[in-house]
């Protein structure tokens, strides 16, 4: 069987880690990317212990040079990347009136430009093969907005626009491009929120709980599968119903 190779960015923890674990148990070959190689190696070792194939590569999504060199190392190891999951993301919250230019730019650079440059790395191979899957991890706030997160929300809404444009541009090559928009998920990103704010979010969520990284990973696993071959340009909400 021709094993497909998936590259997941931000694979060292949280949602990205849950994605690589779910995809490895489904038989995919994994490339794990993030800045901290040590943590990636730990996750890759766990996958290998379970009998899977995994390669860890340090990539800083805020640098196009780092993206180009990291993807070429991954390609040397496993050949073509069949599936890209753009999951890495950062927040630098603050009110717009006081937001520093550096905080605006760095969030846009990592979350949106980084995802786009990663897509550019994998597109030629996917187009040649006439098969590919791209999943961009957006956010519920990219759909509904959120005060204090203008930079992050702009990056996440931008990912939705990117998803829909690309889906139209490359659909004829049998490449699907979709977004997953998680709601409130229990990871390092939400760890620092006050108990009061967490409770408020849970109260506003019809399913009355925070999501787990695995909830998001299941959606990603579906969208990259052969079974999802007629779904493109879609934004799949994994948010417990907080936004419909």
- Number of separate helices (H) and strands (E) present in the chain: 10, 7
Contact between 59 and ligand NAP per CB under 6 A: yes
* DSSP 8-state symbol, 56: E
Contact between 89 and ligand NAP per CB under 6 A: yes
Q: How far apart are CA 160 and CA 166, in angstroms?
A: 10
The only residue of 10, 52, 70, 158 in contact with ligand NAP, by rule CB under 6 A: 10
The only residue of 5, 113, 121, 139 in contact with ligand NAP, by rule CB under 6 A: 139
The only residue of 5, 9, 113, 205 in contact with ligand NAP, by rule CB under 6 A: 9
Q: List residues bridging with 237 in a β-sheet.
A: 181
Q: How far apart are CA 7 and CA 138, in angstroms?
A: 17
Q: List residues bridging with 56 in a β-sheet.
A: 32
Contact between 187 and ligand NAP per CB under 6 A: yes
Smallest gap from Cβ 16 to ligand NAP, in A, equals: 5
Q: Which is nearer to ligand NAP, 16 or 52 (CB)?
A: 16
C-alpha angle 141-82-185 in degrees, rounded to nearest 5: 25
What is the binding site for ligand NAP (CB under 6 A)? 9-10, 12-16, 34-36, 39, 59-62, 87-90, 110, 137, 139, 182, 184-185, 187-190
């Amino acid at each position: 069987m021709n094993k497909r190779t998936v590259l997941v960015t931000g694979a060292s923890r949280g949602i990205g880690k849950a994605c690589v674990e779910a995809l490895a148990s489904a038989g995919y070959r994994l490339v794990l990317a993030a800045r901290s190689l040590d943590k990636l190696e730990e996750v890759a070792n766990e996958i290998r212990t379970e009998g899977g194939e995994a390669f860890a590569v340090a990539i800083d999504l805020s640098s196009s040079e780092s993206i180009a060199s990291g993807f070429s190392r991954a390609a040397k190891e496993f050949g073509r990347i069949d599936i890209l999951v753009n999951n890495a993301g950062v927040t630098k919250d603050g009110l717009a009136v006081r937001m520093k230019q550096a905080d605006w730019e760095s969030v846009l650079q990592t979350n949106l430009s980084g995802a786009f440059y990663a897509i550019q790395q994998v597109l030629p191979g996917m187009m040649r093969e006439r098969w590919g899957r791209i999943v961009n991890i957006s956010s519920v706030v990219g759909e509904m907005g959120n005060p204090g997160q203008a930079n992050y929300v702009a990056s996440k809404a931008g990912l939705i626009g990117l998803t829909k444009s690309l889906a139209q541009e490359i659909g004829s090559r049998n490449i699907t491009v979709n977004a997953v928009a998680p709601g409130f998920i229990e990871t390092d990103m939400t760890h620092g929120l006050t108990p009061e704010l967490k409770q408020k979010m849970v109260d506003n969520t019809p399913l009355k709980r925070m999501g787990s990284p695995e909830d998001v990973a299941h959606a990603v696993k579906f969208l990259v599968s052969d079974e999802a071959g007629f779904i493109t340009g879609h934004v799949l909400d994994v948010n417990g119903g907080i936004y419909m």
